[in-house]
A and B are shown apart, each in its own frame.
Chain A
């Protein structure tokens, strides 16, 4: 095998290896879809964040508009402080409602923005006042069973 043929084969090998890596990055991963170039930060306080994770999506009307970047705990008010990076193209009114929703019955949790009607917009580093905690399924079931028990008690 001469030198040129070996060079050619190694070139082919490196080229298809790198294109496999590119395929993984663009088609399998979400590198191409992650087009949030500029973002600004918003903060929101929740009584209970359930199982919200860092990097969870922020959605408004079902469209991803940002991501959760940091989750902290405020030892003074005993609330969770969630920092959100929102795409700079989108602005939201001051009375936007931030809720923690679950995609599907057992899916992952995300932050949903329900947009209000205020004329003033949230500025970067603002804190969202109106929030609603995650729905804890166990609490819901407990409440339901308690109500059911009370009902049967009343009917007697």
Chain B
């Protein structure tokens, strides 16, 4: 009898997950279809870009700088054993543009902005602001959800590019200014190894996909939150956990597509 209860529990969990995935997909389609207002009254979106993008700048810029500086130190330490410390530029640029830039900035964005979006929408639901909008014949998905979704999608590639640029600056600061790697070799080797389409554009595509994922999860968890204080707090936690896992899993899939080697 114990075994039957266990399998029933397992089945319910799996079914719940699948049901939520289906609901989330329908929600994404509704958000995209109802995003007319977000662009017609573009200030709604601009305001959310301010909260999601501009206010995330400090954490993104500082983390990018430090990640690049650490890459410079660690990369130099390994490369100088093989007498190829000039390749430091390649190492710093490729690892930032391809992987660390999109992934780390998306993780930071999920915890800095995604959690805030979930909490805001969840609290709006708990205080019945969303129902009040519906009473006034204003669709809350068009008025509240879609601008936040598009703000995340627009901000994410810009933040990832800033992260990579600052990281390369940090690598340059440590490698060239502090340690004394030859500056010309640092830049020229980097330029000959980094391809615009293969590396930079693929990095931008990655960050755009992460932007859609994080914003989607954040607005959905907020909209789906239980309208209590505890429910909102749980939804916020779920946003950070789910979007971090989704980012890393999507990163593997995208990398497998993009960099299989020729």
Residues of A bordering B, CB below 8 Å: 1, 3, 6-7, 9-10, 12-14, 16-18, 20-21, 23-25, 27-31, 33-34, 53-55
- Are B158 and A24 neighbours in the complex by a CB distance under 8 Å? no
* CB proximity to A under 8 Å, residues B133-162: 155, 157-159, 161-162
Bound Cα distance from A12 to B57, whole angstroms: 11
Bound Cα distance from A18 to B162, whole angstroms: 9
* B190 located at the interface, meaning its Cβ lies under 8 Å from any Cβ of chain A in the complex: yes
- Counting residue pairs across A and B whose Cβ atoms lie within 8 Å, the total is 81
Residues of B within 8 A of A21 (CB): 157-158, 161, 204
Residues of B bordering A, CB below 8 Å: 43, 46-47, 49-50, 53-54, 57, 93, 97, 155, 157-159, 161-162, 164-166, 168, 187, 190-192, 194-196, 199-200, 204, 262
Which chain B residue has the least Cβ–Cβ distance from A19? B165
- Are A28 and B161 neighbours in the complex by a CB distance under 8 Å? no
A interface majority secondary structure: helix
Bound Cα distance from A9 to B57, whole angstroms: 11
- Are A7 and B158 neighbours in the complex by a CB distance under 8 Å? no
Residues of B within 8 A of A29 (CB): 191, 194-196, 199-200
Which chain A residue has the least Cβ–Cβ distance from B49? A10
- Are B200 and A28 neighbours in the complex by a CB distance under 8 Å? yes
Bound Cα distance from A66 to B191, whole angstroms: 17
- Are A33 and B158 neighbours in the complex by a CB distance under 8 Å? no
- Are A25 and B50 neighbours in the complex by a CB distance under 8 Å? no
- Are A28 and B168 neighbours in the complex by a CB distance under 8 Å? yes
Q: A6-B46, A10-B49 are in contact. Are A25 and B54 (CB under 8 A)?
A: no
- Are A17 and B158 neighbours in the complex by a CB distance under 8 Å? yes
- Are A24 and B165 neighbours in the complex by a CB distance under 8 Å? yes
